[in-house]
Amino acid sequence: MKKKALITGITGQDGSYLAEHLLSLGYEVHGLVRRVALEQPESRLSRLQGVLGQIQIQPANLDSYASIFHVFSKQQFDECYHLAAQSFVAESFADGFSTMATNINGTHYVLAALRELQPKCRYYFAGSSEMFGKVRQTPQQETTPFHPRSPYGISKVAGFHLTMNYREAYGMFCCNGILFNHESPRRGFEFVTRKITSGLARIKRGLASELRLGNLEAKRDWGHARDYVKAMHLMLQQPSPDDYVIATGEAHSVREFCELAFSEAGFDYRNYVKKDESVYRPAEVDLLIGDASKAHAALKWRPTVDFTGLVKEMVHSDLATISPVAKDDVAVVSAI
C-alpha cells in the first residue's frame, strides 16, 4: 500500500521540494492549496511544474477551519506536513495581526481537525530558528530557551507549543522541526539570499545599477532546502515523536553572502550594494547558528550542500533565468 501524505504550503519553496522527495519514495502526495493560487496557476504553482501531474490538489485556506476540516473528512492520510504560513519576518512587523491569525490559528485548525478525524496521522510542524531570536545560548539546541523577536517568531513559538501540547495531551504523533534558514533557487524573492542573487543577475544584465539592503552584519546558518525536507520526512519515520534542530552548524553574515555571490559573477559587491535604513527591522535577530547533533544521531541526517555550494547554485540559477523582460520586478524587489 502506498503511503499517503498531505502537505500544506506545497506551493512554497519547501513544499515543492518535499513533494518531489515523497514522490521519489513512492508516496501518494496531496497538497493543500488556497483557491486564489489555483486561479493563477502559472505564477502561483510555478515551483510545482515538474510534479503537477503526479500530485492531488486539495483546495483550502489556513484562515478557514471549515475548509481544513473538509479536506481531512474526505480521506485519511498517513502523514501531514504542515508547512503553510506567512513566512516573511519583515511582513510580520508590517501586519502582525494577519501573521498571527494565519500562523497560530491555522496551525491550531490543522491539529484540531486531525485530532477529530484522524488522530493516528503523523504530523510535522514547521518550527523555526526565529523562535530563538535574541539567543540565550550559542549554538542553539533543542533545549535552548526561546526569545522571539518578531510577530512571526512569536507565532512559531505558539505553533511549537500547540504541537507539543497535542502530543502530550492526546498522544498524537506530533513533531516539531526547528529548522534554521534554508534556501535554494526556489526561494521567494523577498528573502535576503534570493534578493541578492536575483538583484545581482539584474545588475549583470544591465537592468539595475545597485542593490539596496538592510543589515549586512546579521549572521545566519544557511543550508539547502532540498537537504532540509529530507529531515522532515525522517522525523515522521521514528518510533516516537520528538523535536529536532536542523542546521549546518556554520554561520555567515549577509555581507559574506554578498561578497561570495558578487565575486562569482565577476563583481565587487562594494560597488553595487547600498545601505537602506528602511529595510532594517524594528528588532533584529543578530546571530543564528544551530547544533543539529541530535538529528545527526537519531535521524542519521546530514546536510550535503555547504555555504559556498549554495551561493554558487543560487547565483548561476538566477544568471541563467533572469531575462531583460523582468525589468518591472526591479522596483518591486528593491522596495522590500
| Binding at 241: pick from ligand NAP, ligand GDD, none (beta carbon under 5-8 Å per type) | none
Does position 200 interact with ligand GDD (CB under 6 A)? The reply is: no
CB 89, CB 281: distance < 8 Å: yes
The three cell numbers locating residue 94: 508590517
Binding mask 95-114 for ligand NAP (x = CB under 6 A): -------x------------
Binding mask 122-161 for ligand NAP (x = CB under 6 A): ----x-x---------------------------------
The three cell numbers locating residue 47: 515551483
Report which of 256, 244, 261, 253 is spatially closest to residue 302, judged by C-alpha positions: 244
> Is residue 30 within a helix (H) or strand (E), and if so which, with residue range?
strand 28-33
Q: Is 152 an annotated catalytic residue?
A: yes
Q: How far is residue 231 from each of residues 115, 153, 160, 295, measured CA to CA in Å?
A: 24, 21, 17, 8
Per rule CB under 6 A, count of chain residues that contact ligand GDD = 24
Cross-sheet strand order for the sheet of 243-246: 55-59, 28-33, 4-8, 79-82, 122-128, 174-179, 243-246
Which stretch in 4-12, 112-120, 189-197, 230-238 sits in contact with ligand GDD by CB under 6 A? 189-197
> Is residue 137 within a helix (H) or strand (E), and if so which, with residue range?
none
- Whether the ω angle into residue 139 lies within 30 degrees of 0, i.e. cis, is yes
| Binding at 254: pick from ligand GDD, ligand NAP, none (beta carbon under 5-8 Å per type) | ligand GDD
Q: What's the half-sphere exposure (Cβ side, CA atoms, 13 Å) at 55?
A: 31
- In angstroms, the CA 192 to CA 212 distance is 11
Does position 284 interact with ligand GDD (CB under 6 A)? The reply is: yes
Residues in the chain: 336
Tell me the three state secondary structure of residue 215: coil
Does position 330 interact with ligand GDD (CB under 6 A)? The reply is: no
Binding test (CB under 6 A) with ligand GDD, winner from 100, 218, 225, 273: 218
Q: Which of residues 114-133 bind ligand GDD (CB under 6 A)?
A: 128-130
- In angstroms, the CA 129 to CA 176 distance is 11
Binding test (CB under 6 A) with ligand GDD, winner from 93, 189, 191, 272: 191
Binding test (CB under 6 A) with ligand GDD, winner from 17, 77, 166, 180: 180
Q: Is 130 an annotated catalytic residue?
A: yes
Q: Which amino acid is at 203?
A: I
| Binding at 214: pick from ligand GDD, ligand NAP, none (beta carbon under 5-8 Å per type) | ligand GDD
Report which of 67, 69, 71, 79 is spatially closest to residue 7, judged by C-alpha positions: 79
Does position 84 interact with ligand NAP (CB under 6 A)? The reply is: yes
Rounded least distance, CB 15 to ligand GDD, Å: 13
Catalytic residues: 128, 130, 152
Binding residues (CB under 6 A) for ligand GDD: these are 87, 89-90, 128-130, 180-181, 190-193, 195, 213-215, 218, 220, 254, 279, 281, 284-285, 288
Binding site for ligand NAP (CB under 6 A): 9, 11-15, 34, 37, 44, 61-63, 83-87, 102, 126, 128, 179, 181-182, 188
